[in-house]
Amino acid sequence: MSETVNRGLEGITVAETRLSDIDGESGALTIGGFPVVELATNATYEESVFLLFEDRLPTAAELAGFRADLASRREIPEEVRAVLRRAAAEDRPAMDALRMGLAASTLGTAESASEEAARRVVAVVPTIVATYWRYRRGNEPVPPREDLGHAANYLYMLTGTEPDEAAVRGLETYLNTVVDHGVNASTFTARTVVSTQSDLISAATAAVGSLKGPLHGGAPGPVLDMLRTVHERGDPDAYVREKLDAGERLMGFGHRVYRVRDPRAAVLSSAADRLYQGRDDDFFEAVRAFETVAVDALAARGGDRRLDTNVEFYTAALLEGVGIPMELFTTTFAVSRVAGWMAHCLEQRADNRLIRPVSRYVGETDRTWTPVDER
């Protein structure tokens, strides 16, 4: 047995995958064979999901059929709505509500084949999130519409109003950009669960639990708080100096994998730029100015590695512009990433081996038992 301990499994290759590839040194991300910028800016979300599931883009007829099939699986039964109603009444966080709703979402369904179950999971997550949010706001849920695409229907269920094209395209770009990203924590969790020959709902529910942690999916909310503060104060230089002088971290900069600017930040930056064009609002101008100031300040402070803009920075700006409530940023991440989880689960099942790392014992040895009345 190796004496080397790779904390956090860093540097350990645990799977072969065709789904996505990360080059952290050059700042490149490939999803299903496409550079992330090409996929994110051209595809519908349904095309991205089909690509991950089938390893190719669909024909027009296949896309129409796939879109219709996903849309037909969006409904949730009253029992799930009751769980979400209770979660909202108790003021539970959105990720808790998603976990509870997703775990119960197989009620009333009979999917048995793996890909049918995977499609159901992808289709139902937006409905769960939107239903919870409507209850949380004191409103009745808005039923899903089968004539709307995945992104448009999500926005429609949140607001009850059919969204404009700019908001739909902004959200769809986001969903495509973050749909898969190597064997991250939640994806590894999902693969580990199905490696035991468990079911896809269990894998997705476990992945949601992993995504809930602030070290994985929880950063865009704090980023938006930061950006709003900078915008209101109007002095990004002073804000950056205050934070760095106090030894505090600037949210939205640096990444575990990338040694340069996160390529997803570039995609979402362009998407946000298009979304905010023509608006009588200088918020996005403040975001741009803050990024420049922060990157320069972080570089000037030195350190072992450069801290460039990551995906959370422009996720916050883009989702704010789309109109997604900050409380739903992480669940909206799940609306996208669930397709990656399911694709990895199907891939794991196709060539399965139980995921079973080892640990190195560092505890006591040769202890002798003492009866309780003698301790």
Residues labelled as active-site residues: 255, 312
Q: Shortest CA distance to 91 belongs to which of 152, 137, 23, 22? A: 137
Take residue 194 and report the two structure tokens written for it: 């199905």
Helix, coil or strand: residue 88: helix
Residue 344 has phi, psi (to 5 degrees) of -65, -40
Residue 151, exposed/middle/buried by CB under 10 A (0-12, 13-18, 19+)?
buried
> What residues contact residue 11 under an 8 Å CB cut-off, 6+ apart?
none
Take residue 327 and report the two structure tokens written for it: 């409380």
**Rounded-to-integer distance, Cα 282 and Cα 269, Å:** 15
> What residues contact residue 148 under an 8 Å CB cut-off, 6+ apart?
71, 156, 162
Helix, coil or strand: residue 12: coil
Q: Shortest CA distance to 86 belongs to which of 135, 134, 137, 140? A: 135
Q: DSSP string of 32-61?
A: TTEEHHHHHHH--HHHHHHHHHHSSPPPHH
Q: Shortest CA distance to 171 belongs to which of 154, 147, 188, 146? A: 154
> What residues contact residue 228 under an 8 Å CB cut-off, 6+ apart?
none
DSSP state of 253: B
The H-or-E segment that residue 182 falls in is: none
Q: What angle do CA 287, 293, 299 make, to 5 degrees?
A: 130
**Rounded-to-integer distance, Cα 249 and Cα 257, Å:** 18
